[in-house]
Amino acid sequence: MRWLKIVIFLACLGPLIRLAWKAYSGGLGANPIEFITHSTGDWTLIFLCVTLGVTPLRRLTKQYWLIRLRRMFGLFAFFYAALHFTTYIWLDKFFDLHEMIKDVSKRPFITAGFTAFLLLVPLAVTSSSGWIRRLGGKRWNLLHRLIYVSAIAAVIHYLWLVKADLTKPLRYAAVVGVLLGYRILAWSVPLIRSKKPALFPGKRAEVPEG
Amino acid sequence: MLIKKPADIASSEITPRGLYLSRRAFLRGAAIAGATTLGGGLLGKLASPWEQASAGTKIDGIQKSNFSTNEKITPYKDVTHYNNYYEFSTDKEGPAGLAKNFRTRPWTVKIEGLVSKKKTLDVDSIMKLASPEERVYRHRCVEGWSIVVPWVGFSLSTLLKQVEPLGKAKFVEFTTVYDPSQMPGQRERVLEWPYVEGLRLDEAMHPLTLLCFGMYGEVLPNQDGAPLRLVVPWKYGFKSAKAIVKIAFTEKQPINTWNKATPNEYGFYSNVNPNVDHPRWSQARERRLGEFSKRPTLMFNGYGDQVASLYSGMDLKRYF
């Protein structure tokens, strides 16, 4: 497990290494800053999808150990989101706070993206085992459902910034839709099947972690 | 927001840029595209380095022009590998390869509508109407980036005068070629094809408005709008229609493609204006390709002295 984690950790750094290599070798194209913005944004969405994919995958395949990778994927989603956000405040707005406030309040796609990022902050902060203990499993689980909202906001952010070709954002929308749809099913099917037992809190001990 | 496309994956996305690669490279690219899903297009990009743009033939007898700016010219490679040309691809790196085998001959331009002499002219005869001039213009995209390009051509008015517009004519409509067999982007309904643009007659007759067939001293590369395009330097780039096959004089204001797609975002005039934001992003500043910091966007893209009088008394917030 330890080695697997190290390998996956290095693989997750791949997109960043690729960007650094391209920057070094002049491969970022005619508009490098746009390239970096798009790339870090894409990888944020990909890692959000991967993180959201862990729970359905481990349940459907009964590979329950996969849960042990989820925190890393989630933190990488936050990592690329932070890079994406830094690109925006540094290379796009040059730390002009006034401009940024105007942007966040005036432009819906920035508002959505900023929301998606902000929601990830408490999740990254409370990702440690210590925080799980401090909050208690139930409350921690509840808090970490914010990733659903963040993922939806991230997809909306992408949809709203595109000029005409919605293919790429709709692809993410489809993936996030399926992953969240799975959860709705996983919650509602047992409720519909046997209405009575679901009313007993004891029967609901099997609340999905994500 | 208009959702003009179904959610399924477009065929052009599945084999990115495969069409222009040689057979072997195509197979390799297809294998990569097949083996990867989300984010996989990035790998495809790694595997297929930029292709050389189809080298243009040199144009003889180019005259200098007083309309030229002396700002630093954007590198040729950037101007030929960063193209918004949705007829080929919505990906800016796409058109350079996909337009490689685009046929620009034979090519005729139909001039019709409210004129006394309707004409269908061959592109080669159009190019001989006047001696070619080099015009180094700033070019500002509505997306917030800009370039400086040494275009080659002459004032559109030279051509328009040939057909003798009638008094009733108030606008000029430009139509781009429709040929999905050559233009893979036209097989997708991203925009309504063919692409249509329009100008008010006085804008079209303005000496700055360029009928363009070359750049950097050579014949226009296909991905930059060959064989014949418009360059209207004080308006956002999408107003400068590429690969023109029809010019029509009309009484009513033409409906340009982007305006039809998203009326509240892209107006008919689309003059470069730092004070009127796009509903989704600011137009106050722009990134000149090759520069790190953004620079302020100039009113009418810096051509206010020449063109501001065309719009005197007009509310430019309303007529954006």
The DSSP symbol for B129 reads S
Q: Does A101 touch chain B (CB under 8 A)?
A: no
Instruction: Summarize pLDDT for B66-101 with one digit per residue, the tens.
Output: 999 999 999 999 999 999 999 999 999 999 999 999
Q: Which of residues 2-41 of A touch B (CB under 8 A)?
A: 15, 18, 29-31, 33-34, 39
pLDDT of residue A1: 81
Q: Which of residues 170-199 of A touch B (CB under 8 A)?
A: 170-175
Using 50, 70 and 90 to split pLDDT, how confident is the model at A93? confident
Q: Does B281 touch chain A (CB under 8 A)?
A: yes
**Which residues face B108 on adjacent strands?**
B122
- Nearest CA-CA distance, residue B225 and chain A, Å: 18
Q: Under DSSP, is residue A126 helix (H, G, I), strand (E, B) or coil? A: coil
Q: Does B145 touch chain A (CB under 8 A)?
A: yes
Close Cβ partners of B204 (under 8 Å, ≥ 6 residues apart): B156, B157, B160, B172
Domains defined along chain B, listed by start: 11-49 (no CATH), 63-311 (3.90.420.10)
What is the CB neighbour count within 10 angstroms for residue B232?
27
pLDDT of residue A91: 84
Determine what percent of chain B falls in helix, strand and coil, rounding each to the nearest 5. 25, 25, 50
Residue B84 to residue B275: CA distance in whole angstroms: 24
Q: Does A133 touch chain B (CB under 8 A)?
A: no
Instruction: Summarize pLDDT for B112-146 with one digit per residue, the tens.
Output: 999 999 999 999 999 999 999 999 999 999 999 99
- Nearest CA-CA distance, residue A205 and chain B, Å: 35
CA nearest A92 in B: which residue? B294
Q: Does B86 touch chain A (CB under 8 A)?
A: yes
- Per the prediction, chain B carries an average pLDDT of 87
What is the CB neighbour count within 10 angstroms for residue A90?
11
CA nearest A173 in B: which residue? B7
Output phi, psi for B268, to 5 deg. Answer: -70, -40
- Whether residue B277 and residue A106 make contact (CB cut-off 8 A), yes or no, is yes
Using 50, 70 and 90 to split pLDDT, how confident is the model at A26? confident
Residue B134 to residue B60: CA distance in whole angstroms: 11
Peptide bond before residue B194 is cis, with ω within 30 degrees of 0: yes
In this model, does residue B164 exceed pLDDT 60? yes
Residue A67 to residue B238: CA distance in whole angstroms: 49
Place of tokens 């499993």: A137
- Nearest CA-CA distance, residue B252 and chain A, Å: 26
Q: What is the identity of the amino acid at B254?
A: P
Q: Does A116 touch chain B (CB under 8 A)?
A: no
| The token pair that represents B58 in the structure block | 């040199």
pLDDT of residue A163: 87
Residue B299 to residue B118: CA distance in whole angstroms: 36
Residues of A in contact with B90 (CB under 8 A): 164-165, 167
Residues of A in contact with B280 (CB under 8 A): 107-109, 160-161
Buried b (16+ CB within 10 A) or exposed e, B266-290: bbbbbbbbbebbbebbbbbbbbbbe
Q: Does B287 touch chain A (CB under 8 A)?
A: yes
- Whether residue B3 and residue A92 make contact (CB cut-off 8 A), yes or no, is no
What is the CB neighbour count within 10 angstroms for residue B180?
12
pLDDT of residue B17: 38
CB pairs under 8 A between A and B: 78
The answer to which of A48-57, A196-205, B199-208, B275-284 has the lowest mean pLDDT is A196-205
ipTM for the assembly: 0.80
Strands (E), B16-144: 108-113, 119-122, 133-140
- Whether residue B82 and residue A159 make contact (CB cut-off 8 A), yes or no, is no
Q: Under DSSP, is residue B256 helix (H, G, I), strand (E, B) or coil? A: coil
Closest CB to B9 among A43, A108, A167: A167
